């Protein structure tokens, strides 16, 4: 993606095209808490908590966009914003499709957080419990507000305000009740949704409100005949909460949102029927279960462990609950700024890009494969639209759009047609994600239900894009753009050709896995094209030019060729890898997006240059992580770009899992090489790695590393190889990883399909006729 810089240039032109509606949307970004906060805020505020899971502060961040979010994969909001978003709710035609704004009936503010009060609130994001808290120590009471998107009652965002009176009081107030002023601030009406009149209803002595409506515009007439329905229910909020002098009380307020009125209403009623503390416990329990399943534990470097905990919290907040009171709706993807953002042109509108598959997916796959499957499902759901796009552009198979939202059609903004036209590598990136999914799960059911088809159709697309070049005897892929968006409409982008080649090889392999139930016409044909695809390589300088004719020395926007080394793991000589890294490091924009430096860090770790790696590791997050809530910006301070930048988080997470912990996914094995501590840490544990049904943990300390088998799938025995001998893994076994490795774990019995060759641009090495 990263049209952000390109976009700014085009904003004026774009506004001309879009007219008034777009202007209104952009104005939305400036709305929020800032109007009401009198104190001026410093540039960065401090996180004063020493708990690695809790980020606390007395002062809110300088800009509202650095406020954290709450979410549960169905609804999400930024704390103190007047906007709520729902999974799959978009408004706007084609390139202006964006998350539709629902007024923030969850935005309940204590007066102490709005005006200069004598009482200074403490604000905390508790990532372990998935809740944002405000605590105010007043003269006569302690008030604690909890705001959370319920992880079981998934349609609901809950506000609970607890008031506890203090025992020693001024005799003057002896018989007075305690009054706590509060205010509901939902913001103006939505510009995206035509809501009908609000309807009041009495329930258990309270007034509930509801309003239903439809989005204003469909995304695409062919694939979305009707606008989307949405219903909101919410509790009315008084001006004051009143508590008797010696009492203590919890007040629960909630809003609920769904496409279906009955579902939204039932959810709200259910929330209100629960006892306050039980309601909270039903939310906390699934969060704790998620963290118990898997995680990255870092000791000795508090800042680092906080950033990591923040990342999992943000990722999981945008992924669906595993258990919910009512069945969940379809999931519409993990977009680069998550579910809590995307109503504006700055935050990628809630669209889905290659970011999902290339940046967020790999770590999610190893720790939470159930979510990796859900992410791939979004692509399967849109396969028929991808088939139409391929047809439209004169190709075969599936061509996935650069950006997609509700229907799966191309929704790239009108500003930037070239990214949509040329960044076709997204289709290869989806296949690369599938490759990793198959490598770690061997999910045969998934192959049967769409997997075989998506892999072979993606290969058909690339086969139809490759054209023979009679001068070289190789296939070229023309008119593309690699991840580096500074170079458009090029031929043989090294990154594109490698993901295309991998896609072709994977189809040959998968055709064999699927052969008993899925017919592929000529699987070897795909491999033949891949084998003969051009891959730019300069033998004299021993490096990969970014594309055919790339002028050496010309600056680039972000990691591109460097991705061949990792994540693509394209085999090359160490000297080539080192040259690619040092050359592209010298020509990449310093202010570029965060994930670039994560990949350079992994490169230097692979080259065993730890000092250089740790310098780039610093570069990959310092200036991108915004205090105090560890929200990520796309660009380094003082620039900002999109917020909260999941893509940068995804790259950083890969540095830890695949870089420092040294885990690598291959089709026939899981490899661990040179597991080591990240800078300044004294212990690093990757808990709950899921591999072929097994649950493994990697424990790295100064004195060495160990692999523990928490459990195994009985049907899939695994063998561990330490470089000298093989050990059959047993439940609860711990093996020591001494030396550098590589240590490998593989299935004892393997289905008999030849692994893909995965060599690209080598046709001249192939004996004639074979
Ligand atoms: C609450 O704050 C508002 C300003 O946002 C102020 O007008 C109002 O008087 C305050 N209420 C109380 C009871 O202090
Ligand atoms: C709404 O949900 C209710 C309860 O789950 C269900 O019976 C009804 O069919 C749904 N309505 C629509 C239009 O889907
Ligand atoms: C994996 O093993 C860990 C450690 O025993 C355990 O806490 C976790 O629940 C297991 N995860 C799953 C998904 O079984
Ligand atoms: C940890 O982060 C804080 C910013 O919140 C910074 O002030 C502090 O220097 C960092 N500590 C270390 C050891 O890097
Ligand atoms: C892309 O390059 C081709 C030549 O390969 C040219 O015909 C075409 O007009 C270019 N497209 C754009 C949008 O620049
Ligand atoms: C890689 O190194 C080997 C020798 O170690 C050499 O024969 C080969 O030509 C090199 N390959 C490239 C692409 O430079
Ligand atoms: C990385 O940053 C930390 C401070 O956060 C610093 O202590 C360390 O020296 C830096 N490492 C390198 C290699 O620059
Ligand atoms: C270990 O197992 C692998 C694969 O099963 C086999 O190829 C290899 O020869 C074995 N190595 C030893 C030393 O037994």
- Spell out the SS3 assignment of 714-728: CCCCEEEECCCCEEE
Rounded CA-CA distance 620/697 in Å is 26
The average pLDDT across 415-443 equals: 97
485 is catalytic: yes
Lowest mean pLDDT among 95-109, 163-177, 727-741: 163-177
Ligand 4 centre and the CA of 613: distance in Å?
20
Q: How sure is the predictor about 14, in pLDDT bands with cuts at 50, 70 and 90?
A: very low
Rounded CA-CA distance 205/460 in Å is 63
For ligand 4, atom 10, name the residue with the nearest CA: 303
- The alpha helices in 203-360, defined as continuous H runs, are 261-273, 276-293, 302-317, 354
pTM, rounded to two decimals? 0.94
Q: Is residue 765 over pLDDT 80?
A: no
Q: Helices then strands (H, E): number in the chain?
A: 20, 33
Q: Is 29 near ligand 1, meaning CB less than 6 Å away?
A: no
Could you please report the per-residue DSSP string of 486-531? TS-SBS--HHHHHHHHHHHHHHHHHHHHTTTT---S-HHHHHHHHH
Q: Count of residues for the chain?
A: 770
Ligand 8 centre and the CA of 726: distance in Å?
6
What's the longest Cα–Cα distance across the chain? 101
Q: How sure is the predictor about 43, in pLDDT bands with cuts at 50, 70 and 90?
A: low
- Both tokens assigned to 65: 């966009």
Rounded CA-CA distance 699/706 in Å is 5
- Both tokens assigned to 721: 């190889």
Cβ 345 vs Cβ 29: under 8 Å: no
- Dihedral sign for Cα atoms in the order 65, 70, 73, 77: negative
How is residue 47 annotated by DSSP? -
CA-angle at 490, arms to 336 and 646, nearest 5°: 10
Cβ 604 vs Cβ 630: under 8 Å: no
The SS3 of residue 268 is helix
Peptide bond into 567 cis (omega under 30): yes
Q: Is residue 303 over pLDDT 90?
A: yes
pLDDT at 767: 40
Which one of the ligands is nearest to 266 CA? 2
For ligand 3, atom 8, name the residue with the nearest CA: 293
- Both tokens assigned to 443: 């999910």
For ligand 7, atom 14, name the residue with the nearest CA: 615
Q: Is residue 146 over pLDDT 60?
A: yes
From 721, 742, 746, mutation site for ligand 8 pocket: most ligand atoms within 8 A of C-beta: 721
**Distance from CA of residue 209 to its chain's centroid?**
34
For ligand 6, atom 3, name the residue with the nearest CA: 573
- The string of pLDDT tens digits covering residues 367-405 is 999 999 999 999 999 999 999 999 999 999 999 999 999
Could you please report the per-residue DSSP string of 710-769? EE--TTS-EEEE-SS-EEE--TT-EEEE-SS--EEEEESS----PPP----S-GGGSPTT
Rounded CA-CA distance 148/151 in Å is 9
b/e map 123-156, b = 16+ CB within 10 Å: bbbbbebbbbbbbbebebbebbbbbbbbbbbbbb
Q: Between the CA of residue 638 and those of 454, 514, 565, 623, 635, what are the distances in Å? A: 42, 51, 30, 8, 8
Q: Is 293 near ligand 3, meaning CB less than 6 Å away?
A: yes
- The string of pLDDT tens digits covering residues 611-660 is 999 999 999 999 999 999 999 999 999 999 999 999 999 999 999 999 99
Q: How sure is the predictor about 8, in pLDDT bands with cuts at 50, 70 and 90?
A: very low
Q: Is residue 27 over pLDDT 70?
A: no
How many CA atoms lie less than 13 Å away from 283 in the CB half-sphere? 32
pLDDT at 748: 93
Ligand 7 atom at minimal distance to the Cα of residue 611: 13
- Ligand 2 binding pocket (C-beta < 6 A) is 260, 262-263
From 303, 629, 631, mutation site for ligand 4 pocket: most ligand atoms within 8 A of C-beta: 303
Q: Is 615 near ligand 7, meaning CB less than 6 Å away?
A: yes
For ligand 2, atom 13, name the residue with the nearest CA: 260
How many CA atoms lie less than 13 Å away from 321 in the CB half-sphere? 28
Q: What's the chain's average pLDDT?
A: 92
Rounded CA-CA distance 593/563 in Å is 14
Which one of the ligands is nearest to 491 CA? 5
Q: How sure is the predictor about 763, in pLDDT bands with cuts at 50, 70 and 90?
A: low
- The string of pLDDT tens digits covering residues 409-424 is 999 999 999 999 999 9
- The string of pLDDT tens digits covering residues 240-251 is 999 988 889 999
Q: Between the CA of residue 392 and those of 417, 423, 429, 463, what are the distances in Å? A: 16, 16, 21, 16
- The string of pLDDT tens digits covering residues 461-481 is 999 999 999 999 999 999 999
Strands (E), 92-155: 98-99, 102-103, 108-110, 122-126, 131-137, 141-149
- Closest C-alpha among 142, 147, 150 to residue 278: 150
Ligand 4 centre and the CA of 303: distance in Å?
6
Ligand 3 centre and the CA of 295: distance in Å?
10
Q: Which is higher by pLDDT, 295 or 15? A: 295
Q: Which of 357, 485, 585, 634 is catalytic?
A: 485
Question: β-pairing, 178-184 with 156-165?
Answer: unpaired
What fold is seen in the domain 45-294+302-307? Answer: Beta-galactosidase; Chain A, domain 5 (2.70.98)
Q: How many CB atoms lie within 10 A of CB 575?
A: 11
Q: How sure is the predictor about 13, in pLDDT bands with cuts at 50, 70 and 90?
A: very low
User: Residue ranges per domain, the chain?
Assistant: 1-41, 45-294+302-307, 352-668, 683-748
Q: Which is higher by pLDDT, 3 or 517? A: 517
Between the two ends of the chain, the Cα-to-Cα distance in Å is 40
Rounded CA-CA distance 326/602 in Å is 42
Which one of the ligands is nearest to 601 CA? 7
The average pLDDT across 714-728 equals: 95
Could you please report the per-residue DSSP string of 138-170? -SSEEEEEEEEE-SSSTTEEEEEEEEEE-SS--
The average pLDDT across 481-487 equals: 97
Rounded CA-CA distance 562/443 in Å is 30
Q: How sure is the predictor about 20, in pLDDT bands with cuts at 50, 70 and 90?
A: very low
Helix axes 452-465, 523-531, angle to 10 degrees: 50
- Closest C-alpha among 568, 558, 629, 546 to residue 594: 558
- The string of pLDDT tens digits covering residues 150-164 is 999 999 999 999 999
- Both tokens assigned to 324: 């919910």
In sequence order, what are the beta bridge partners of 232? 211, 257
| E strand or H helix at 578 | helix 574-587
Write down the residue that tokens 């809003």 correspond to. Answer: 255
Rounded CA-CA distance 77/443 in Å is 34
- Both tokens assigned to 240: 């004051």
- Dihedral sign for Cα atoms in the order 75, 358, 345, 332: negative
Q: Is 710 near ligand 3, meaning CB less than 6 Å away?
A: yes
Q: How sure is the predictor about 173, in pLDDT bands with cuts at 50, 70 and 90?
A: low
Ligand 1 centre and the CA of 184: distance in Å?
12
Ligand 5 centre and the CA of 490: distance in Å?
9
pLDDT at 232: 98
What fold is seen in the domain 352-668? Answer: Glycosyltransferase (1.50.10)
For ligand 5, atom 7, name the residue with the nearest CA: 479
In sequence order, what are the beta bridge partners of 666? 669
Q: How many CB atoms lie within 10 A of CB 548?
A: 19
Cβ 385 vs Cβ 396: under 8 Å: no
Ligand 5 centre and the CA of 423: distance in Å?
14
pLDDT at 675: 98
Q: Is 573 near ligand 6, meaning CB less than 6 Å away?
A: yes
Q: Between the CA of residue 483 and those of 216, 429, 470, 557, 642, what are the distances in Å? A: 34, 11, 28, 8, 17
Rounded CA-CA distance 331/352 in Å is 12
Q: What φ, ψ does residue 735 adopt, rounded to 5°?
A: -115, 145
Ligand 7 centre and the CA of 50: distance in Å?
20
Q: Is residue 10 over pLDDT 70?
A: no
What percentage of the chain has pLDDT greater than the value 70? 92
pLDDT at 750: 73
For ligand 8, atom 1, name the residue with the nearest CA: 726
The average pLDDT across 43-48 equals: 83
Q: How sure is the predictor about 118, in pLDDT bands with cuts at 50, 70 and 90?
A: confident
pLDDT at 592: 82
- Closest C-alpha among 95, 68, 84, 91 to residue 155: 84
Ligand 7 atom at minimal distance to the Cα of residue 303: 5
Helix axes 383-392, 452-465, angle to 10 degrees: 10
């Amino acid at each position: 993606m990263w049209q952000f810089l390109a976009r700014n240039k085009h904003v004026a032109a774009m506004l001309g095209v879009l007219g008034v509606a777009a202007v209104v949307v952009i104005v939305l970004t400036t709305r929020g808490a800032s109007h009401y906060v009198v104190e001026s805020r410093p540039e960065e505020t401090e996180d004063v908590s020493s708990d690695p899971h809790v980020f606390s502060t007395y002062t809110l961040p300088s800009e509202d966009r650095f406020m954290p979010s709450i979410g549960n994969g169905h609804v999400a909001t930024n704390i103190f914003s007047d906007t709520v978003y729902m999974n799959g709710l978009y408004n706007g035609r084609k390139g202006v499709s964006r998350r539709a704004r629902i007024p923030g009936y969850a935005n309940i503010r204590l007066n102490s957080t709005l005006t200069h009060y004598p009482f200074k609130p403490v604000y905390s994001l508790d990532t372990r419990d998935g809740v944002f808290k405000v605590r105010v120590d007043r003269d006569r009471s302690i008030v604690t507000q909890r705001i959370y998107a319920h992880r079981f009652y998934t349609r609901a965002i809950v506000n609970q305000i607890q008031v506890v009176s203090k025992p020693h009081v001024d005799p003057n107030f002896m018989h007075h009740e305690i009054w706590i002023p509060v205010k509901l601030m939902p913001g103006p009406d939505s510009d995206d949704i035509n809501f009908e009149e609000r309807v009041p209803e009495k329930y258990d002595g309270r007034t509930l409100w509801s309003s239903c409506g439809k989005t204003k515009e469909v995304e695409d007439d062919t694939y979305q005949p009707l606008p989307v329905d949405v219903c909101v229910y919410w509790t009315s909020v008084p001006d004051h909460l009143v508590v008797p002098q010696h009492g203590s009380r919890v007040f629960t307020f909630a809003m609920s949102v769904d496409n279906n009125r009955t579902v939204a209403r039932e959810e709200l009623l259910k929330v209100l029927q629960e006892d306050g503390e039980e309601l909270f416990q039903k939310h906390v329990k699934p969060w704790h279960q998620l963290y118990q399943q898997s995680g990255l534990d870092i000791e000795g470097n508090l800042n680092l462990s906080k950033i990591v905990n923040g990342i999992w919290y943000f990722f999981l907040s945008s992924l669906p609950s595993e258990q919910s009171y009512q069945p969940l709706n379809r999931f519409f993807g993990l977009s680069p700024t998550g579910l809590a953002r995307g109503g504006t042109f700055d935050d990628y509108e809630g669209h889905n890009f290659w970011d999902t598959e290339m940046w967020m997916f790999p770590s999610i796959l190893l720790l939470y494969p159930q979510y990796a499957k859900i992410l791939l499902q979004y692509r399967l759901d849109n396969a028929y639209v991808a088939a139409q796009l391929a047809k439209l552009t004169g190709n075969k198979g599936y061509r996935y759009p650069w950006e997609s939202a509700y229907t799966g059609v191309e929704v790239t903004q009108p500003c930037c047609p070239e990214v949509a036209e040329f960044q076709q590598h997204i289709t290869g990136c989806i296949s690369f994600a599938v490759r990793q999914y198959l490598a770690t799960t061997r999910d045969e059911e998934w192959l049967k239900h769409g997997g075989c088809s998506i892999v072979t159709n993606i290969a058909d697309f690339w086969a139809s894009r490759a054209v023979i070049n009679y001068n070289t005897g190789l296939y070229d892929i023309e008119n593309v753009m690699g991840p580096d968006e500074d170079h458009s409409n090029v031929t043989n982008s090294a990154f594109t050709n490698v993901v295309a080649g991998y896609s072709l090889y994977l189809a040959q392999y998968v055709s064999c896995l699927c052969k008993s139930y899925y017919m592929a016409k000529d699987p070897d044909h795909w491999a033949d094209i891949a084998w003969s695809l051009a891959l730019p390589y300069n033998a004299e300088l021993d490096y990969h030019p970014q594309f055919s004719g790339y002028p050496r020395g010309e600056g680039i926007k972000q990691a591109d060729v460097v991705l061949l080394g990792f994540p693509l793991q394209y085999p090359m000589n160490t000297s080539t890898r080192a040259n690619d890294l040092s050359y592209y490091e010298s020509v990449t924009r310093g202010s570029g997006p965060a994930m670039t430096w994560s990949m350079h860090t992994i490169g230097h770790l692979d080259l065993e240059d730890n000092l250089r790696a740790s310098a780039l590791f610093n570069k990959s997050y310092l200036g991108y992580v915004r205090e105090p809530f560890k929200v990520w910006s796309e660009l380094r301070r003082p620039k900002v770009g999109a917020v909260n930048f999941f893509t940068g988080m995804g790259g950083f997470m890969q540095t830890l899992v695949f870089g420092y912990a040294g885990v690598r996914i291959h089709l026939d094995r899981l490899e661990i090489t040179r597991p080591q501590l990240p800078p300044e840490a004294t212990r690093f544990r990757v808990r709950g790695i899921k591999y072929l049904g097994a649950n493994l943990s990697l424990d790295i300390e100064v004195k060495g590393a160990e692999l523990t088998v928490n459990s195994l799938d009985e049907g899939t025995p695994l063998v561990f190889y330490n470089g000298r001998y093989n050990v059959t893994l047993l439940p609860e076994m711990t093996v020591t990883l001494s030396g550098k490795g590589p240590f490998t774990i593989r299935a004892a019995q393997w289905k008999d399909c030849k692994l893909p060759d995965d060599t690209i641009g080598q046709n001249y090495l192939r004996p004639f006729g074979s």
